[in-house]
């Protein structure tokens, strides 16, 4: 019999190290995330661009976990290193896709990446499956990557089962309209301003390579992710405006069509997505397991005595992938 799932994090750390502030505060004072040696490959995409993929090598035939990172994330993100370190400890293989422009080098085409980029998810997972061969292949998506993965799982339905065996998402903003509005007020603005600093820098670099691509002055004026998506993300990826993008790219309407056993981990105090917007049992398929913790913030999940640890999240993910319970 499989061991029971890890209990929800107890959050014995000080109050200011938990909840919505966890990732921001923890990242600045806690011990560094584990270092993992990864091997990088560059893949040319079907449309003439490229993506960089980092690999965790391991024994032939061992299970394989593939990670899709969050907005402006990478294989260097704390959660990515923690998950890959856990995989290494189990003797698994792994890989981390860098969405276009997130590996440290500007991509070739005007387009970048977005929350509903399921064509990219599909192409990458099919290629990873061809490399993994007959080994068990698991897909995990964090935040933006979690929404895109969940949307792909729903769109693909039963056909996804021939590509991935199980999947998990962490703090995915399934309702992008609710998430975007939340990030435009209160503590959410702290995150928005952090992201906007790097998003604007990348946008101006794109303008140097592709003059006239969008309105530079409007980018400078952007104060929220809604503003930025309206000027840059939406038009670059075929959406009319922010409302069209956030509506069509949201994974929530597709959760009822997921056929692959999938764990959705979210925290009820996540500043990225109000608790009222979390999916209910009626909105997901029987293949989906919902796990909503009381605390955790946005990919924080800090627990234990000071300065805390983030061991619960990888243990919970891998337990589900191994036991689907």
Active-site residues: which are they? 143, 270, 298
3-state secondary structure the chain: CCCCCCCCCCCCCCHHHCHHHHHHHHHHHCCCCCCCCCEEEEEECCCCCEEEEEEECCCCCCCEEEEECCCCCCCCCHHHHHHHHHHHHHCCEEEEEECCCCCCCCCCCCCCCCCCCHHHHHHHHHHHHHHHCCCCEEEEEECHHHHHHHHHHHHHHHHHHHCCCEEEEECCCCCHHHHHHHCCCCCHHHHHHHHHHHHHHHHHHHHHHCCCCCCHHHHHHCCCHHHHHHHHHHHHCCCCCHHHHHHHHCCHHHHHHCCCCEEEEEECCCCCCCHHHCCCHHHCCCCEEEEEECCCCCCCCCECCCCCECCHHHHHHHHHHHHCC
Would you state the structure tokens that stand for residue 291, as one six-digit string? 């796990």
d(CA 257, CA 235): 28
Dist CA 257 CA 188 (whole Å): 30
> What's phi and psi for 108, nearest 5 deg?
-75, -40
- The position carrying tokens 């792994």 is 94
């Amino acid at each position: 019999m499989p061991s029971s799932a890890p209990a929800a994090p107890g959050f014995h750390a000080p109050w200011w190290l938990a909840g919505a502030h966890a990732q921001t505060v923890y990242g600045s004072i806690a011990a560094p995330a584990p270092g993992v040696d990864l091997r990088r490959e560059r893949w040319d995409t079907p449309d003439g661009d490229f993506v960089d993929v980092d690999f965790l090598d391991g024994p032939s035939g061992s299970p394989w976990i593939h990670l899709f990172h969050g907005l402006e994330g990478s294989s260097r993100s704390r959660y990515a290193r923690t998950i890959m370190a856990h995989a290494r400890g189990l003797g698994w293989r792994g890989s981390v896709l860098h969405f276009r422009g997130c590996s440290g080098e500007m991509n070739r085409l005007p387009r970048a990446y977005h929350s509903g980029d399921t064509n990219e998810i599909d192409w990458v997972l099919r290629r990873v499956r061809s490399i993994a061969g007959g080994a068990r292949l698991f897909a995990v998506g964090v935040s933006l990557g979690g929404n895109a993965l969940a949307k792909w799982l729903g769109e693909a339905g039963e056909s996804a089962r021939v590509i991935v065996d199980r999947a998990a998402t962490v703090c995915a903003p399934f309702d992008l309209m609710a998430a975007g509005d939340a990030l435009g007020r209160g503590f959410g603005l702290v995150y928005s301003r952090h992201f906007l600093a790097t998003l604007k820098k990348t946008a101006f670099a794109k303008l140097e390579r592709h003059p006239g691509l969008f309105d530079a002055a409007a980018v400078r004026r952007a104060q929220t992710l809604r503003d930025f998506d309206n000027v840059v993300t939406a038009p670059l990826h075929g959406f009319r405006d922010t409302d069209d993008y956030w509506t069509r790219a949201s994974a929530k309407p597709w959760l009822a069509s997921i056929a692959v056993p999938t764990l959705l981990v979210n925290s009820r105090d996540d500043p990225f997505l109000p608790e009222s917007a979390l999916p209910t049992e009626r909105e997901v398929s029987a293949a989906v397991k919902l796990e909503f913790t009381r605390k955790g913030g946005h990919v924080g999940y800090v627990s234990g005595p000071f300065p805390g640890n983030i061991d619960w999240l990888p243990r919970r993910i891998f337990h589900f992938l191994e036991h689907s319970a």
